[in-house]
Amino acid sequence: MTKILPFTKDKLDEVLSIKVCKREIEELKALGRTDINQVIKESLEACGYSWYLKDEKGVRAVGGVCLDANYPETMGIIWLLVDERAFKDHLFTLNSVTYELLDICFNRLELECLYNIVSPTLNKESVKWLEFIGFELSGEPKIGLDNKSEFRTFTMYREDYICAHQ
């Protein structure tokens, strides 16, 4: 049975059991991040809202929203790490929990903008997912620390979310 569970500190070891997919690992490496467990720990510690998806195979996805350190009252960073088959096996569930998270961010927290930075060349699946749930490309491309991977910012603004969900 598939469950979406809120992350709590006592579940850290369970969440760290996720086998993050290769495209996510390569994307993080291009940003200079090689210790995936450390990335997950830091992301969870910085999160205002975080959750994980678990089924009979174990932890399949972990994600959340962190407030932007420079603009904590108005901006958040949405993130998601998945295993190789999470989008194929649980796309509807991942979309549902994301829409709930968007509602919290835009209606309860009244954030003005959510964003994520993704490499379209390394992580096409995440780009497709972000676009499907309503994020749009913004800004100019940036090159990763590997000096070759292009990264793009995907944003969603509160006013666009509210217009689409009235």
Average pLDDT, stretch 106-120?
Answer: 93
What pLDDT is stored for residue 162 in this prediction? 87
Q: Which H or E run includes 36?
A: helix 36-46
CA 1 to chain centre: 23
Angstrom distance (rounded) from CA 104 to CA 109: 6
* Percentage of residues in the chain having pLDDT higher than 90: 85
pLDDT in tens, 29-81: 999 999 999 999 999 999 888 999 999 999 999 999 998 888 888 999 999 99
